[in-house]
Amino acid sequence: MPVFYKRYVDDTLSKMPDVSSVSEFLLTLNEIHPSLSFTIELEDNGKLPSLGMVIIRNGPRLDTKVYVKPSDTGLLLHYQSHDDVRYKHSLLKTMLNRAFKLSSNWQFFHQECEHLKMVFTRLHYPKILLENTIRHFFEMKVTESNVCSKQQVSDEQDVPISIVLPFKDQKSANAVRHQLGDLSRKIDAVVQPAYTSQKIKGQFKPKEHKPPIVNQQNVVYYYKCGLCDADYVGFMSRHLHQQVEGHKRSAIGNHVKDEHGNDPETIGSNFRILKKCQSKLDCLIFEMLFIRKLQPKLNKQSDSIRAKLFI
């Protein structure tokens, strides 16, 4: 496998341990699919062309410069062609910028500039235009390089020291800023406050964890004992968890305690909702219907007394 592998469209640059590994890797790639056909190009005398540039092995580092194919004819936009002069000037600047981007040092960039002079001279570009454009481009890049170097040094020297403080009020903040300004002048460094404010959520207590059925109301519910066939059907017009608490001391709780010797505190997970109703009257009616259908063993009544008025 390659130690280094980068791909751009259909060109791949790889670093392999040795030539035999290259052959094995190429064979593996070509066996992936019949329609795929890969070729390789090895470095020659420490040089390898790739994506319009030449990668040059220079000891522990790699240098790059513009690559010109042996078959290149230097055919570009002729100066006497019937095109706007802006396009001709832009072409010259584009080729200079390409040379600058692909050259790893000023020596290679200078060599490519001399080559571009020769190419554009054959295309009848004025000599004064070539020299002025190259000189302006060179001066611009040197200026940018110096500005970047100075800016980097300035940034390293002027990194502010931040002190995190809680924000109280604007009057206190102004006083702290004034005091830190005096400190900055004494120690010859930029010291600035960084205030933190209390979040609104910190003023509220976290919500109490409640069982999943806590928000259920106006429901007909069903209880099934987890240790036997005992069950129960009931209704609740308020929140169901309140009814569950009450059942810990009712027939359900007594059944769990007397028949199985367990703590009634654990019965909450054995409740489920049979029907979500719109009103208390609906609860009464559906409670009666479910009692008749399921015939729960722990219910003492066979239906709802109030619901009989509507049958």
d(CA 134, CA 300): 103
Which residues, at least 6 apart from 276, have a Cβ–Cβ distance to it below 8 Å? 216, 218, 219
Contact of 310 with 285, CB cutoff 8 Å: yes
Residue 309: predicted pLDDT: 47
The tens digit of pLDDT for each residue in 187-243 reads 777 777 777 766 666 656 666 555 555 557 788 888 888 888 888 888 887 777 777
Q: What's the chain's average pLDDT? A: 81
Tell me, yes or no, if the pTM score tops 0.75. Answer: no
Residue whose token pair is 């069982």: 211
Q: Quickly state the pLDDT bin for 119 (edges 50, 70, 90).
A: very high
d(CA 6, CA 24): 18
The tens digit of pLDDT for each residue in 250-292 reads 888 888 888 888 888 878 788 888 888 888 888 888 888 888 8
d(CA 196, CA 227): 56
* Cβ density class 25-60: b for 16+ within 10 Å, e for less: beeeeeeeeeeeeeeeeeeeeeebebeebbbbeeee
Instruction: Please say whether the dihedral angle defined by the alpha carbons of residues 55, 57, 60 and 64, taken in this order, is positive or negative.
Output: negative
- The two tokens of residue 281 are 């009257």
The full set of domains in the chain, from first to last, is 43-157 (no CATH), 161-200 (no CATH), 217-310 (3.40.1440)
- How long is the chain? 311
d(CA 151, CA 21): 46
Report the number of secondary-structure helices (H) and strands (E) in the chain: 8, 10
Contact of 229 with 275, CB cutoff 8 Å: no
* Chain centre to alpha carbon of residue 81: 51
Considering only CA atoms, which of 12, 67, 25, 28 is closest in space to residue 44? 67
The tens digit of pLDDT for each residue in 7-56 reads 888 788 888 888 888 888 888 888 888 888 888 888 888 888 888 888 88
Ordered DSSP codes for 91-103: HHHHHHHHHHHH-
The most confident of 41-55, 114-128, 146-160, by mean pLDDT: 114-128
